Chains A and B, each alone.
Chain A
Amino acid sequence: QKEVEQDPGPLSVPEGAIVSLNCTYSNSAFQYFMWYRQYSRKGPELLMYTYSSGNKEDGRFTAQVDKSSKYISLFIRDSQPSDSATYLCAMKISGSSASKIIFGSGTRLSIRP
């Protein structure tokens, strides 16, 4: 079983829809949770970063963490064609002096105009 599981998609939704992207994880030592966005032929860029259970909002994006269920989500409101990209969830263990990020396999999202 992989440490981080993510549905690869592809996921295609119409413009303006609410998008829900999800990941599950097995290692309860993960304490920091991130969402990266990766456009085609580009490097990943950090979108959201959280370390506590609950919701964190940034504009049209909301990151949700449920540590009891080992489940994280990213919601995109009023989705735009420019949101079309691969979204990677990522996690880190806290307190490590050489902390490494464990990535999910990414969900490819397409927003139809």
Chain B
Amino acid sequence: DTAVSQTPKYLVTQMGNDKSIKCEQNLGHDTMYWYKQDSKKFLKIMFSYNNKELIINETVPNRFSPKSPDKAHLNLHINSLELGDSAVYFCASSPSSGSTDTQYFGPGTRLTVL
């Protein structure tokens, strides 16, 4: 059983397009996250939702808009894609937003902007 799943796994698109990445977790967790990993493997948090409420919103261009329809899903919509958006995007979840809670990562979505 897949704990944290993401679709699509690969996404190749042209500059200026709008695209969405979907994430679902079946662990019953309250908190979900979006991370961006660049070509140098540097993993940085973008957003976090706890029970559908935004709790972490890092310095991310407002072209990126997360949406959490329920606590098991956290989607990421990106408008007007730019070359610099090319990266691997990871979704993660944890039981709560507490300090000691382990985060479980999805397999990633590799986005390439041409």
Chain A interface residues (CB < 8 Å from chain B): 8, 31-32, 38, 41-46, 49, 51, 86, 88, 92-101, 103, 105-106, 108
Contacts and interface: CB of A to CB of B under 8 A. Distances in A.
18 contacts: A8-B40, A32-B100, A41-B108, A41-B110, A42-B108, A43-B106, A44-B90, A88-B41, A95-B99, A97-B55, A97-B97, A98-B48, A98-B56, A100-B45, A100-B56, A105-B40, A106-B41, A108-B41
A6 to B, nearest CB: 10
A100 B45 CA distance: 7
Interface of B: 4, 40-45, 48, 50, 55-56, 58, 90, 92, 97-100, 102-108, 110
Contacts, number: 61
Contacts of A8: 40-41
Contacts of A31: 99
- What 3 pairs across the A-B complex have the smallest Cβ distances? A43-B105, A98-B55, A106-B41
B37 to A, nearest CB: 9
A105 B38 CA distance: 10
A99 B45 contact: no
- Specify which of B40, B43, B56, B103 lies most central, judged by the most chain A CB atoms within 10 Å of its CB: B43
Given A44-B90, A98-B48, A32 B99 contact: yes
A11 B40 CA distance: 15
Given A98-B50, A103-B44, A45 B105 contact: yes
A99 B108 contact: no
Contacts of A43: 4, 90, 92, 105-108
A45 B15 CA distance: 32
Q: Which of B55, B99, B108, B110 has the most CB of A within 10 A?
A: B99
A51 B101 CA distance: 12
Contacts of B97: 97-99
B56 to A, nearest CB: 5
Contacts of A100: 45, 48, 56, 58
B99 A96 contact: yes
A44 B33 CA distance: 13
